Structure formats: structure tokens, C-alpha cells
Structure 1
Amino acid sequence: MEGFAALATEPAAWAALATLVVMEVVLGIDNLIFISILSNKLPEEHRARARRIGIGLALGLRLLLLASIAWIIQLTQPVFEAFGHGFSWRDMILIAGGLFLVWKATKEIHHNIDPAPNDDLFDTKSVGMGFAAAIGQIILLDLVFSIDSIITAVGMTDNIAIMVVAVVTAVSVMLLAATPLSNFIGQNPTVVMLALAFLMLIGTTLIAEGFGAHVPKGYIYAAMAFSAAVEALNIFARRRQASGSTTREPA
């Protein structure tokens, strides 16, 4: 209760909350892109449910990790040393999650470039298995992104109330943005490739951080924002050309 009282009386607590909310929302973008791409692979009637379950699990995992804050701090302690670097459980989780993201993005890029009838991850004749596979992969990446998110929060404040409010706010934003983002990705095939490239970039960054090479997040998100802006201009140009060609009268 003291943490929530600080929010009501201390301006510094509000400043810390605002900063942490922004950080958590930005970190949640990675999670949301993965959930959107994966849910779009499912039959349409199962997509919204998969997104709700995935984002709900993201919230649950984050709150559970906040309740185990002492254990989370221990994850940053080195367990063994190799190549002159001490590897912690966090490092190993980031490396495993990064490898999975790179593998998944590579597989999906290959499928988009050269689709084969039997190469799809989800068999539409076996929806139950496809849905279970999607949720399983979402849980795996939710865990990786949740650990990274909570460790970032711990590094910014020691007020548990601020962390809880920031996490709930960020996940609420994810929930509101999930359907519009998934629909936008589904309606624009070139955006799918861009989003997969983002996942590969994020996976590579996770692997690098697991090996002790710190990559400033600002550079990564600035590159992603620039690429998204260029793609938005391309989409706008294509729509203008399409509308122009339909309004021209035949000679």
C-alpha cells in the first residue's frame, strides 16, 4: 500500500511511472508483433481468441514474475563462464528466445517467398493442433519478453506498485492494439515481410545481449520506426496509383 500512496503524493513517483509505462509499451511491441503474425496463421474464427489468450498470458506472466522479484534478481547472477563471459539464467533465456525468433522468422519468410502445400506450420484440417501449437509458441515468447520486461522495470524503480501499474497499462495498450495491428498486417502482404524482418532483428538482438553485447534499444526501435514509415509511404503511394487508375476513363 505504501507504493500506491507514493503515487498519490509524490510527483517523482508519477514521473517514474510515466517513464516506465512508455518503456513497457515499447518493449511490448516485440511481443505484440509476434502474437499478431502467429494468430494470423490460424483460421479467422480462432484469431481473436488466440490474441486474447496470448496477451492475457503475457499479463499473467509479468505479474507472476513481479511477485517473484527476489528470484528474478537472482536470474542476473552468473551461473557459468565461457568465452570470457559469465552467463546467467537471463542470458541463456535470451539466447534461447532469440534463436527461436530467428528460426521462426526465417521459416515464415521462406514460406512467404516459396509457399509449399505441405510446408505450413498450421494444418487447417487439424485446427485444434494448430491452435495448440500457436498458443505453445506464444507462451514461450511471452516468457522471454516478460523476463526482459520485468528485469528492465527492476532496473528503473524499486517501487512494486509502479511496476504493477506500468505492466497492466502496457498490456492493456497491447490488448487494444492487437486486433487493428493484426488486421493491418493481414491486409498488407508487404507488411508481413517487414514484420518478420523486425522479428529477425529482435531475435538477433536478444542473442547478442545474451552473449554480453549490449545493443541500445533506441537504435533498434529507431530503425524499426524508419522502416515502418517508409513502408507506410509505399502503401500510400500504391493506393493513390490504384485509385488513379480506376478513375481514369478508357481512351
Structure 2
Amino acid sequence: MEVVLGIDNLIFISVLTNKLPKEQRSRARRVGIGGALILRLIFLSLVTVIIGLKTTLFEAFGHSFSWKDLILIAGGLFLVFKATREIHEKTDPEEHELAHAAGSKVGTASAASVVIQILLLDAVFSIDSILTAIGMTEYVVIMFIAVIVAVTVMLIAADPVANFIERNPTVVMLALAFLLLIGTVLIAEGFGAHVPKGYIYAAMAFSAFVEVLNMMARRAKRKALAEGKPVKNAPGVEVAVTKPTAAG
């Protein structure tokens, strides 16, 4: 369960760090994932405090709000904001490039900003993860082992996942859509609307499966074009493509 819950965090880290220069990405991922481990171990050491976050603070809109609810709402809003902003940058790249061209210092400051954002979301995901673990077992040692194993898996998968997302532009948009969905779910949970995690991950898995089929179709089309075979651009229409000759 910890590994599955870590998927959200890993997607967020991959999307953010891929905006950095290549030489800074791997280090930023390690810092972000290391921060997740430290935060989760600290929160596990303060189990009684974490449980206390579920104590009601006030009531509004017919719902009792606790610190946990406020943290989930704040984290969800931040995630929705970041995902929306990233989607806007992908759909309107000219404006984004002009903004970068206007500023000369993008290196260290952007790296520090990315790490801070990762740590902020780490805190939200860590609290949600620890509360889930508390509901599954009362043995803190088991929780510690599960957290360490999950974060180790994240550390191993971080670079391959981030590189895969970078190589496939459509996967980037799908990952941002996942983050938008996760942020919306966090907000809903903060307002008392419980959404079973299984539904969320089933929808994400199905979307990823469809994207894999699209990638296979694109790869087959590129291969056919490279071999000069006819490719269907529309139903019933075939386009014959010939290989370019040395003469042009």
C-alpha cells in the first residue's frame, strides 16, 4: 500500500525535476525522495500527534474540519494549482519561453524552488500515508519497515520514470492530468467526501494502458514510414511513402 501511495509523490517529483537542467535533476530527485523518507519517519515517531490531527477544530458547511482536513485541502489546492500551471505551459509554450527569456537566472533558484515544492507536497502525502498505515496496523515497527521499503522503491524507480515521462510528451500531459485528479481527490477528502483509493488507481491504470496502446500505434506507424510501407491516415485511405533516395 505504501508503494502504491508513493506513485502520486513520484509523479509529482518527476514532473517538477524534469524542468531543471539535466545535471541537477537526479540530485533534486534524491533530495525530494530523501525528504519524503525523513518526514515519514518523523511522523511515525509522532504517531500520537498525527492521530490528534483528526480532532475536530470547527464545523462549517455541515462538516467537522480537523487539522488533517485543512492539510489535505491546502495540499490539494497546491497540487491543482501546480498541475494547471504546468498544463498551461505545455499548451502555450510560446508564453512560457518568453517568460524564461526575460529572466537570466534560472539555475540555482529554480532548483531550490523545486526542492521546496517537493518537500511541501512530501509533507501532505506523508501525513496521508501515515494515517492510512495507522488504520491498517498498530505495530509501529511494521510501519517503519513498510515506509523504508516503499521509499527505496521510489528511489530506484525515480530516474527511469522521470526519463520515460520526458521522452514521451503525451505521457507528460497524462501525468499532469493524474496530478490534477489527485489534487481534486485530496480537496474532496478534506471536505469529507471519501473517494476509495482503488477507484482512483484503477482509473489511472486504465488511462496508462490506453496511452501504452497509443505509443505502440505510433511506434508501428514510424516503423512503417521508415520502411516505406503504406500508412493509413484515415479509414479506407492509404498513403504510400517511399524512402528518400540519395539524389533527393
1:102 is aligned to 80
Distance across 1 between alignment mates of 2:147 and 2:21: 30
* Secondary structure at 2:111 match in 1: helix
2:198 is aligned to 218
2:119 maps to 1:139? yes
Asked if the contact 1:111/1:119 (under 8 Å) is kept, the reply is: no
Identity among equivalent positions (%) equals 64
2:40 is aligned to 62
1:228 is aligned to 208
Per-residue CA distance 1:111-151 (angstroms, 9 max, x = gap): 0000112445xx67331100011011001100000000001
Q: Normalised by the size of structure 1, how large is the TM-score?
A: 0.88
Question: Which amino acid is the alignment partner of residue 96 of structure 1?
Answer: A
2:147 maps to 1:174? no
Alignment of 1:157-168 (within 5 A): 157-168=137-148
Distance across 1 between alignment mates of 2:166 and 2:99: 19
Distance across 1 between alignment mates of 2:20 and 2:65: 37
1:51 is aligned to 29
Cα deviation, residue 226, structure 1? 0.2
Alignment of 1:59-98 (within 5 A): 59-98=37-76
Distance across 1 between alignment mates of 2:223 and 2:106: 40
1:238 is aligned to 218
Cα deviation, residue 248, structure 1? 1.9
2:135 is aligned to 155
RMSD, matched Cα: 1.4
Q: Which runs of 5+ in 2 are unaligned?
A: 230-241, 244-248
Per-residue CA distance 1:87-128 (angstroms, 9 max, x = gap): 0100000000000010100000010000112445xx673311
Question: Which amino acid is the alignment partner of residue 117 of structure 2?
Answer: Q
2:18 maps to 1:40? yes
CA separation of 1:111/1:27 partners in 2, compared to 1, >3 Å: closer, same or farther? Answer: same
Distance across 2 between alignment mates of 1:106 and 1:197: 9
2:188 is aligned to 208
Q: Report which structure shows greater RCO (CA 8 Å, sep ≥6).
A: 1
* Bigger CA radius of gyration: 2
Cα deviation, residue 244, structure 1? 1.2
1:187 is aligned to 167
Over 6 Å off, 4+ runs: none
* Secondary structure at 2:76 match in 1: helix
1:10 is aligned to none
2:8 maps to 1:30? yes
2:232 is aligned to none
Distance across 1 between alignment mates of 2:50 and 2:68: 9
Q: Normalised by the size of structure 2, how large is the TM-score?
A: 0.89
2:176 is aligned to 196
Question: Which amino acid is the alignment partner of residue 31 of structure 1?
Answer: N
Question: Which amino acid is the alignment partner of residue 243 of structure 1?
Answer: K
Asked if the contact 1:43/1:124 (under 8 Å) is kept, the reply is: no
Give the aligned length: 228
CA separation of 1:124/1:194 partners in 2, compared to 1, >3 Å: closer, same or farther? Answer: farther
